[in-house]
């Protein structure tokens, strides 16, 4: 299992799509408040369709609450366009946390400084991928490496 962590996500449709990815891959989804939307936002539910009952998600009221929930031996990988290390250089293990920041600004420097940072290579002219796409890329690479795909 992979653990997806979203730090202060802003767009409900992205979170709904990521919830679908979590359900499809049986990944645990950690959502760290504050959000840029209300938890009951209909756009969140609509993007997640009828998969919400299959999503193993945890809501954390703050960054500190999330950090306190981590097991002592937790491995957290921070994804950022500012990272120099490619996603494909990482060696993922079962139960790793893949941490992604908010859509408009990414992870703040103090969060990035706590964990190894990875970037998704983008040879084209864009600055970044959509958050839901980035999570999908990260999760499926991690699962490929730990041979969890069936």
* Average pLDDT for 105-118: 96
pLDDT for 79 beyond 70: yes
Spatial distance between the Cα atoms of 20 and 17, rounded to a whole number of angstroms: 5
- Which residues constitute the domain of residue 87? 3-145
pLDDT for 148 beyond 90: no
Residue that wins the pLDDT comparison between 148 and 33: 33
pLDDT for 3 beyond 90: yes
For residue 121, the tally of other CB atoms under 10 A from its CB is: 9
Residue 130 lies in a domain: yes
Residue 16 lies in a domain: yes
106 — pLDDT class (breaks 50, 70, 90): very high
* Average pLDDT for 9-35: 97
pLDDT at residue 48, rounded to an integer: 87
Read off the pTM. 0.95
Residue 95 lies in a domain: yes
Is 125 exposed, middle or buried (CB count within 10 Å of its CB: 0-12, 13-18, 19+)?
A: exposed
Residue 84 lies in a domain: yes
* Count of domains observed in the chain: 1
Give pairs for 127-133: CB < 8 Å, separation 24+: 127/81, 128/81, 130/14, 130/103, 131/6, 131/9, 131/11, 131/14, 131/18, 131/100, 131/103, 132/13, 132/14, 132/17, 132/18, 132/21
Per the structure block, which two tokens stand in for 82?
Answer: 């500012």
How many CA atoms does the CB half-sphere of 32 hold within 13 Å? 21
Q: Which of 45-54, 86-95, 128-137 has the lowest mean pLDDT?
A: 45-54
CA 128, chain centre distance (Å): 15
Residue 140 lies in a domain: yes
Per the structure block, which two tokens stand in for 108?
Answer: 């703040």
Spatial distance between the Cα atoms of 106 and 112, rounded to a whole number of angstroms: 9
Residue 48 lies in a domain: yes
Residue 150 lies in a domain: no
Residue 82 lies in a domain: yes
**CA distances, 53 to each of 3, 50, 67, 96, 139 (Å):** 17, 7, 26, 23, 20
* Average pLDDT for 139-143: 96
At 91, is the secondary structure helix, strand, or coil?
Answer: coil
CATH code at 102?
A: 3.40.1280.10
């Amino acid at each position: 299992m992979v653990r997806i962590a979203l730090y202060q996500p802003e767009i409900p449709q992205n979170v709904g799509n990521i919830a679908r990815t979590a359900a499809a891959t049986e990944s645990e989804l950690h959502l760290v408040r504050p959000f840029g939307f209300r938890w009951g936002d209909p756009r969140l539910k609509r993007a997640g369709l009828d998969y919400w009952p299959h999503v193993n998600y945890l809501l954390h009221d703050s960054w500190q609450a999330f950090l306190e929930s981590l097991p002592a031996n937790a491995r957290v990988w921070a994804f950022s366009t500012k990272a120099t290390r490619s996603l494909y250089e990482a060696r993922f293990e079962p139960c790793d946390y893949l941490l992604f920041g908010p859509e408009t600004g990414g992870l703040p420097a103090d969060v990035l400084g706590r964990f190894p940072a990875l970037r998704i290579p983008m040879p084209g002219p864009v600055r970044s991928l959509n958050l839901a796409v980035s999570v999908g890329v990260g999760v499926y690479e991690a699962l490929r490496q730990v041979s969890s795909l069936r």
